[in-house]
Structure 1
């Protein structure tokens, strides 16, 4: 176990911050003191970007222990939460200066969800590998082009900078920090107490829609995209798709890349995965039937694709994301097809 017994953590709060981004890690860190019977603990202080009370995005209000304008203690770790309010705050020069100063001295500087924009404005994510909520990835890439974004990761550590996906990923991050500070057993005990995974399987692709690359309605490409979506079970090749689109395979690929940012083959594969996810979430169809309907090479092909792309197998995906009470009238519970 790390010989460090007490660790100071500063948590930024700004108008419109996501309350769970603060409350989740605070509860996880607080359990260390309880489970170690006071031998190990975190001292946590909230630091406001404005003076006075600060209202979260949910409407609940906190009164910060300090502000960025006050003298603060030396923080071992600084956490910036996310929330819609970050877009009114992230480029505040006072916050950027405060974060730059903390970066010089803190062992860890971290952001939850789109709190990463504040680190970006302070110049702290240039040439670093980072992640954020999947919905904010395009905006992050446009705003901070030097950041190396891993959009499917739940959390990423690059040197002393830690970043996470959205909201509950702050708990994943706090558990990783607890493991670094006080060992795996302590982190596992905290995870058990909170009834969460110490490391959850898979990435953000389990939650984010895979078909964000639809062509514009007036595009030449939209017709061929719709054909693929309507015929997922049909074996397709680049040549057959190009023939249907009345253009060369090279031109079809060029237009796909220009308008959608990916190849026809990758679009089709994404479409098949997305359709399979919907079947798993809303029906009791066995895997072999889902695979056939979605154009996969049998149940094993579906399993391999899910494991490779989503880092989770179809059975686990179904158990996690299945709509309560939903079922298909063609229900088949044969074990070999589950």
Structure 2
């Protein structure tokens, strides 16, 4: 029998699914191997009191960071609304630093990576987090390399993930590393999830989330582009509309929105195509025309490059109010009504 000991940190306001998801995935290993392989999981609290999760459920930890603990193979740090109240706590940072030296691997789910940052564990490391916290993470820990579009990132012994359900993706990755791909697939089938999700967080986060200053020339250009996505545009023609030089428009646009005008246009077209795919039955050809793509192949190329899935697959996953088709973990197609 092979046993792997995993410590899961708890703090006030932790995200319950960040812990419950991996615990359920790891627990299936013992069931599916008839006890030949096992993860022994212990919850480690930052206080000696029962801990209230962000969803309102209370968990009593097995140990605390102040108690003697077994030698962990893996330590998992969840995220949650409470992370920003505790991540710089000196006792927690000291405990995480010590575990980082002893453990084979340490992992942060969602914004739990902020605790790793405060403990100095992600300096020079490639990491990810929930897309809503990616900018804040990069600003807080500039020595880390933040990739906001990954479901999970492994850099040496440090593992980080996107938000919430990505903790399950993380656990499946670890199961595959520890016990092989077949067992990881069996666990994924039991949980009715994908072993590896195609694409990244950009499938779920809004690509277009920037606005120019109210009543500014930049806002005027944005409004014009959003109303005329189907037309052909260039920096020179956009600058002429607001009586500016192309160079000055590019400088001002980037200052107010964080991106050049043509990048904004590209993102706006993808964002509009996403909405059409999610909410209408329009053909890919019609959507590509309405959103300013030269042809359906152009739309497909952009989707595969930016979202790592095709427009058809995106529609099957995210369309609302219409029948859709999805792929089960074993590769079978399932009709959803």
Match of 2:267 among 263, 267, 270: 270
Alignment of 1:58 with 2:50, yes or no, is no
- Residue 140 of structure 1 and its aligned partner are, at CA, apart by 1.0
What are the superposed Cα offsets for residues 295-318 of structure 1, whole Å, 9 maximum, x if unpaired?
A: 011111111110000001111111
With normalisation by structure 1, the TM-score equals 0.94
Match of 2:212 in 1: 215
CA root-mean-square deviation:
1.2
Match of 2:122 among 121, 125, 131: 125
In structure 2, how many angstroms separate the alpha carbons of the residues matched to 1:50 and 1:147? Answer: 29
Alignment of 1:145 with 2:145, yes or no, is no
In structure 2, how many angstroms separate the alpha carbons of the residues matched to 1:272 and 1:10? Answer: 45
User: Between Structure 1 and Structure 2, how many residues are aligned?
Assistant: 324
Match of 1:23 among 20, 24, 27: 20
Match of 2:328 in 1: none
Residue 43 of structure 2 aligns to a residue whose secondary structure is strand
- Residue 258 of structure 1 and its aligned partner are, at CA, apart by 1.6
In the alignment, structure 1 segments of 5+ residues that lack a partner are 328-338
Match of 2:46 in 1: 49
Residue 201 of structure 1 aligns to a residue whose secondary structure is coil
Match of 1:315 in 2: 312
- Residue 52 of structure 1 and its aligned partner are, at CA, apart by 1.8
- Residue 161 of structure 1 and its aligned partner are, at CA, apart by 0.3
- Residue 220 of structure 1 and its aligned partner are, at CA, apart by 2.4
Deviation larger for 33-42 or 247-256? 247-256
Query: Is the Cα–Cα contact under 8 Å of residues 154 and 165 in structure 1 kept in the other structure?
Result: yes
Residue 84 of structure 1 aligns to a residue whose secondary structure is coil
Match of 1:81 among 78, 81, 88: 78
- Residue 325 of structure 1 and its aligned partner are, at CA, apart by 4.2
Task: Detail structure 1 runs of 4+ shifted over 2 Å in the superposition.
Answer: 324-327
Match of 1:193 among 190, 204, 207: 190
Query: Is the Cα–Cα contact under 8 Å of residues 152 and 205 in structure 1 kept in the other structure?
Result: yes
Match of 2:303 in 1: 306
What are the superposed Cα offsets for residues 130-172 of structure 1, whole Å, 9 maximum, x if unpaired?
A: 0000011121122111111000000000010000000000000
In the alignment, structure 2 segments of 5+ residues that lack a partner are 325-337
With normalisation by structure 2, the TM-score equals 0.94
